[in-house]
Structure 1
Amino acid sequence: MTRLSDLANAHPVIGKRWSQDQPPEQARILGLARDALDFIFATGQRYGFEDFFKRPDSRRPPPRSDNAGQREFMDRTKRFFEKLRDEPESAEEAAQSQAILDAIRYIESTGQQDAFAAFQEHVEANAPPYVVASFDTREDAEAWLASHPHPPDPANVLIANEYHDVFHDRETNLRRLPRNRALKWYLAELEQKERPVAVASFERREEADAWWRAQAEPARRAWVRVGGELHLAVYYPNIHHRALFPLSMSNGQEEVRRKSPPG
C-alpha cells in the first residue's frame, strides 16, 4: 500500500530527469508529477490518501475530468511514469514511479482535478506556502481544530497572519498548531531570486490593507511599500484571504520587534 512517506520519497525520480534544456512537454509532465505529490501534502490529505488505497475499489478506472486539456496532460504523465515503472533502472525508481501514479489516481478518483489545477496555478505564480484556513485569533484556530472531524495533516494555516502547522495524530487524537518558519524561508528565497519592486506606496498599514482589499482581481502576490518598508501583498484564492507580510520577516526583524518591550 502506498503511504504518504512514499510520496515524500518519490521526488528523486523526477529530479533525475529534470534539466534546463529539456523539451517543454517533458518539463510540463515532470512538473505535473511534482505538483501531484506536493498537492496531497499541502492540502493535508495524509489520512484520506492512505485510506483510499485500503479500499477494494481503489484500482478502478477514475472518472473522466471535464477539463480536456488537463486530462490529456495527466494521461501523458501517467504514460510517462508507467513506462518508467515497467522498465525501471532500479527497484527504487519503480516504487517512486508507482507512488506518482498513485498520487495522480487519488486526485482523479476523488474528483479534485479543479482543486489540483488551482494548486498548479499557485505553484506557477511562486506564491507563498499554501494554506488551508485562516483565523484572526489563536482561540478561533484552537476551536476549529478541536471540533474538526478530520483535521488536515500535514498542512499550513494562518493565525493572525502567522504561519502554523496543523498536526493531527489519528491514533491518539493529539491535535496541535505549532508555529513554523515557512514564510520566513519563502521571503528570504524570494528576495534572492527577484528584485522587489513596489507597485504602490502608502504611509500607513491601514491604507495598504484597504487598497489590497479593494482589488477586484488581485494577483497572487505583489510588492508594496508601507512607511518606507517593503511588504509582500498576498492573495489566497482557495480561502479568499488577503494579507500583507513585511519583508523584514525574512531575517527575523519582525519577530524581534513583536517580542521587544515597548520603548
Structure 2
Amino acid sequence: MKYPSTYNLYDTQEEIGKQWSEHPSPEERRLLGLARDALLFIYATGQPYRFEEFRLGLESGVLLPPGPLEQSQNDFASLEEGLRSTREFISKLRDEASSAREKHLLQVIVGTLQFISSTGQHGAFSAYLEHLEADAPPYAIASFDTKEAAEAWLKNQPIPPDSADVLIANTYHYVIHDEKAGVFRLPRIRALEYHLADLKQRKPPVAVASFATREEAEAWLKALPEPARWAWVSIAGEPYLAVYHPNIQHRALYPLSMSNGYEDEEEEEPDEP
C-alpha cells in the first residue's frame, strides 16, 4: 500500500498551535489539548501507517472493520464524550478554514480522533494521557534484551510500528520503518538522558528509598505491586530514577549521572545503528 506524504506530525501540531492562539477560552483549549494528545498518541504508539490506512478508508468510503474494544465502552464513556466533543469542535474549525491546506490538516486531526474511537483504543489512549499527566519518562511500546529480538518482533507485526520508541537492554531506540523498502532501522536515541537532565532541574532528586546496592534496589522495585511511574531513589549515595512502564510491564533503574553533559544541549538526531 502507498501512503501520501501530504502532512506530518509537525504540520498538524503547528496547526494546533495556531488554533490555540486564536481560541483562548479554557474549554476550547481543553478540546485542542485533547486533539494534540491524540496526535502524539498515534506517533508514540507507532501507528502512523495504521492510521493512514484508516484515513484513506474514510476518504474512499471503504473502512476497515474496527478492532475489538479493549474494555467495555461504558468504562470509557467520559473519554468517548471528550473525543466526540473535540471532533465536533475541530470539524467546525475545518468548515470555517479559509485555505485548502488548513482544511486538510484539520481534517487529519479529526481523523485521529475518529481512529481512536473506531479502533476501540480508549484504554490505551487513557493510559497514554495518564503517562503525560505523570510527567513520566519517554513512552516505550516494547522492551527487549537484544537488538536481534527487537528486529524479529518488528518483522512479525502485521502492520509494523513506525516513529515509536522501544527499549533494548534498557536503552531507548527509535523505530524507523520504511514501508516502501520494507526495511527497519533501530537507531539509539538519547531521549532519556534529556529527560533526566530536565527532570533534575524541575524536580530535583529527593529519594523515596535508599539502598546500599543496585541489587537491593532492583529487588525492591520488582516487589512493588504497582510502582509509581517514576521516583527518585538513592543507591550507594547516588541518585537514580526508578521507572515503571505499565503498558509493557517493565521496570528499570537509571543513574542520574546519565544526564551529565545534556543539561544545555538541544536533543540530537538518532544515532546510526
Query: What range is the shorter-chain TM-score in?
Result: 0.7 to 0.9
Q: What is residue 49 of structure 1 aligned with on the other side?
A: 51
Q: What is residue 181 of structure 2 aligned with on the other side?
A: 172
Contact kept, 8 Å, 1:165 with 1:178, in 2: the verdict is yes
Q: What is residue 114 of structure 1 aligned with on the other side?
A: 123
Q: What is residue 195 of structure 2 aligned with on the other side?
A: 186
Whether 1:136 and 2:145 are equivalent positions in the alignment is: yes
Counterparts of 1:3-22 in structure 2 under 5 Å? 5-18=7-20
Distance 1:104 1:237 in 2: 23
- Unaligned segments of structure 2, at least 5 residues: 263-273
TM-score, normalised on structure 2? 0.82
Of residues 226, 235, 248, the one that matches 1:239 is: 248
Amino acid at match of 2:62: D
Contact kept, 8 Å, 2:234 with 2:240, in 1: the verdict is yes
Q: Which piece of structure 1 moves more, 146-155 or 222-231?
A: 146-155
TM-score, normalised on structure 1? 0.85
Percent of residue pairs bearing the same amino acid type: 54
Counterparts of 1:75-114 in structure 2 under 5 Å? 75-88=84-97, 90-114=99-123
Q: Which piece of structure 1 moves more, 106-115 or 2-11?
A: 2-11
Amino acid at match of 2:239: L
Distance 2:128 2:6 in 1: 18
Amino acid at match of 1:120: L
Of residues 31, 34, 37, the one that matches 1:35 is: 37
Q: What is residue 260 of structure 1 aligned with on the other side?
A: none
Counterparts of 1:191-210 in structure 2 under 5 Å? 191-210=200-219
CA 1:189 to 1:135, structure 2 compared with 1: closer, same or farther past 3 Å? same
**SS state at 1:9 partner:** helix
Distance 2:18 2:205 in 1: 32
Contact kept, 8 Å, 1:135 with 1:158, in 2: the verdict is yes
Distance 2:217 2:65 in 1: 51
Moved over 6 A (4+): 59-64
- Unaligned segments of structure 1, at least 5 residues: 254-263
Equivalent residues, number:
252
Contact kept, 8 Å, 1:184 with 1:252, in 2: the verdict is no
